[in-house]
Amino acid sequence: MLEKLKQVGNAAKDAVTKTAVLLGDLNGDGKVNEEDARIAAEWAKKQAASAGNEVARLGHEVVRSDLAKDAATGAAVGAAIAIPVPVIGPVAGAAIGATIGAYRNLTGKSTSSGSTPPKSQDTHAELLKLQDLREKGVVTEEEFQREKRRVLGN
């Protein structure tokens, strides 16, 4: 019985070792070592940069949104109106104005023009997308350069 338990234990150990090598052997040399850790770190760095670019792109979109424009307009008006009122003050006035601006936007009573973002911002976003595709290996350097020229109008 003890011999059978040892065999089962060894089989489990071998299975775990093989699974660890399958998952951790990133360079295909049959073992998990510092080189695999370096490869994993580089991959993580690229993914973090890609995520950072996406967050920046989304942040730019939010800033350009009508909701943000209406809230900022409301905050400016609220702060200006509240300056002479000592009890409220400009900070509270700005908060109240921003809330009113956001409410007006969400209820469809927005004062924003609804215009599209300037072409330079669209160009920047498209170039960031192209760069991300190139870094991920989806497009070649040649394809990237061709699309970059197209976006820039050259």
Q: How confident is the model at residue 120 (pLDDT cuts 50, 70, 90)?
A: low
User: For the chain, how many residues are written?
Assistant: 154
100 in a domain, yes or no?
A: yes
DSSP secondary structure letters along 31-58: S--HHHHHHHHHHHHHHHHHHHHHHHHH
User: If you average pLDDT over every residue of the chain, what do you get?
Assistant: 80
**For the chain, how many structural domains are there in total?**
3
Q: Which residue has the higher pLDDT, 81 or 33?
A: 33
Same domain, 46 and 83: no
- Asked whether residue 5 is domain-assigned, the answer is no
Say if 28 falls within a structural domain: yes
In this predicted structure, what is the pLDDT of residue 63? 67
- Considering the domain architecture, whether residues 72 and 84 belong to the same structural domain is answered as yes
Q: What is the pLDDT of residue 121?
A: 62
Indicate whether 99 and 134 sit together in one domain. Answer: no
Contacts of 123 (CB under 8 A, 6+ apart): 151, 152
CA-CA distance, 153 to 130, in Å (whole number)? 15
| Structural domain includes residue 4 | no
pLDDT digits (tens, 9 = 90+) for 74-117: 888 877 777 777 677 788 888 888 888 888 888 876 555 555 54
Instruction: Tell whether 99 is covered by a domain.
Output: yes
List the domain range (segments joined by +) for residue 96.
65-115
pLDDT digits (tens, 9 = 90+) for 12-27: 888 877 777 777 888 8
Indicate whether 43 and 22 sit together in one domain: yes
